Structure 1
Amino acid sequence: MNHSTTILFVPGAWHNPDCYDPVVSRLEAVNYKTEKVHLPTVGPSTHYLNFDEDVAQIRRQIKHAVNAGQEVVVVVHSYGGLPSNEAIKGLDINTRQKMGLTGGVTHLFFCCSFVIAEGQSLISAFGGNDLPWFRVADDKLEVNVADPDKVFYNDCDDVQVEHAVASLRPHSYQSFHSVCTYAAWKHIPSTYLYCLQDAAIPLAVQKMMVEGTAKGFGMGTETVDASHSPFISQPDELTSAIRRAAGESI
């Protein structure tokens, strides 16, 4: 593997990035550098009104890696794809090479994440309606998950489910209404991981985003027989897919 590659992990809503640890440990065992992003909108003391702080945090961590000359593969889960696309603008390797700089984002890996076009928010992209498993507070500032064991972890064992559910935190609901202004997947190589048992973003919706929203941009695909949380239930398969996205022939 290439020691100049950093894998940056961005979690979805409600999640601590430590959820990726089974994959992180496998990548570090074959000498990849890894970084994890804690999203400010997850469990804040005061809820945010947009995704700007998430974008800024992801961008800071990408910049730190690329300024050290690293090639960066950004792995995004669920909601995490939205602020990550924004954060990548101007930090892809092609743009930086044109400026005479080394390092840059080389690949964007969607782990059952949302692929959203410019001008849309997560909510508007799906007709302006909340997903059926959202539980939104009356003041529209906080959102939680109904039945996360069934929505996120339907192929995990009881111990995994208990630990994962206990780790979830309230999320800033208004971040779901932030409008995307940059689609990094139009500008850098990208991979979408289809998760066949995903109860949060059903396979039909995953395919609609890849074959509809991203049509014509050459997004690659991988498939795993997993729930919305393959980093817990199928870490070997997810690790291999990420290594292929990083350029390995495995």
Structure 2
Amino acid sequence: MAAVVLVHGLYHRPEHFALVAEPLRTAGTEVVVPELHKGSLSADTAAVQAVIDALPEPPIVLGHSYGGSVITGLRGAGHLVYLAAFVPDVGESAATLGGASPQLQDAINPEPDGSTSLYPDRAAGTLYGDCPEPLAAWAVGLLRAQASGCGRGIPERHSWKHAPSTYIVCTQDRAIDPVLQQKMAWRCTYVREWQTGHSPFVGQPDLIVELLQELLAANTPRRPDEGVTTAR
């Protein structure tokens, strides 16, 4: 069975995916959640690529938010899942595609060292507004500072042109405009819409677990032919 690789977004940590990873592991699936925050998009992509290269077969790779830019630059994924995520094309970055919503921008707190963090109260409403309050508080408590510039990084390759992909539009998202998500979703092979906010891995993790188990059962992951482009 293929493994699952979960790629978090800006300000987040691998622990944010705990409610998704643990049920999958209990069911016998190998789940890897790499730590990003390496300082640049290229460094973050390299960290995830090292994980994929160490696996025996092409994994299902899910990228959330900025994590979409990361998984776009990968080789060797069997199926890509973009969860309210950026899907850059040639010369594009998350920032040039539209970037953070005004509400998320208002939550950003510049730090003296040039990094940024999020104001906890604003982060709760923006990232986890549809989540139960205890879970939202837990998720906010895990957030960490972020080096500047990652969102302006441009992927060196575009994996969604070579591997099957699924885009999940989160229609109640306050961090990335759902209209922007719908536009980016046209680049993917399959599209689904969920009535969730930006972070269903906190508020409705069962949705993600069920999707990933469906993809695993369908046996879609396989080493793609790099010369073949998948049409939506």
TM surpasses 0.5: yes
Q: Is the 8 A contact 1:191 1:245 kept in 2?
A: no
What is aligned with 1:196?
Answer: 171
Q: Is the 8 A contact 1:140 1:174 kept in 2?
A: no
What is aligned with 2:131?
Answer: 156
| AA matched with 1:25 | E
Q: Is the 8 A contact 2:63 2:70 kept in 1?
A: no
Deviations 1:189-224 (A, max 9, x none): 00011212111112211101113xx1xxx5202222
Aligned CA RMSD, in angstroms, stands at 2.0
State the identity as a percent.
24
What is aligned with 2:117?
Answer: 144
1:77 aligns with 2:67: no
1:7-22 mapped onto 2 (5 Å cutoff): 7-22=4-19
* Structure 1: 4+ residue segments shifted above 4 A: none
Structure 2 CA distance for aligned equivalents of residues 176 and 228 of structure 1:
17
What is aligned with 1:183?
Answer: 158
Deviations 1:122-151 (A, max 9, x none): 11222xx76422326387932333511111
Deviations 1:70-125 (A, max 9, x none): 23000110001112221x23xx2xxxxxxxxxxxx210011111111121111122
The gaps in structure 1 that reach 5 residues or longer are 42-47, 93-104
Structure 1 CA distance for aligned equivalents of residues 208 and 147 of structure 2:
28
Equivalent position to 1:174, from 119, 128, 149: 149
Q: How many residues align?
A: 214
User: Aligned with 1:71: secondary structure?
Assistant: coil
What is aligned with 2:28?
Answer: 31
Q: Is the 8 A contact 2:130 2:196 kept in 1?
A: yes
The gaps in structure 2 that reach 5 residues or longer are 220-232
TM-score w.r.t. the length of structure 1 is 0.79
Q: Is the 8 A contact 1:153 1:161 kept in 2?
A: yes
Q: Is the 8 A contact 2:86 2:184 kept in 1?
A: yes
What is aligned with 2:95?
Answer: 123
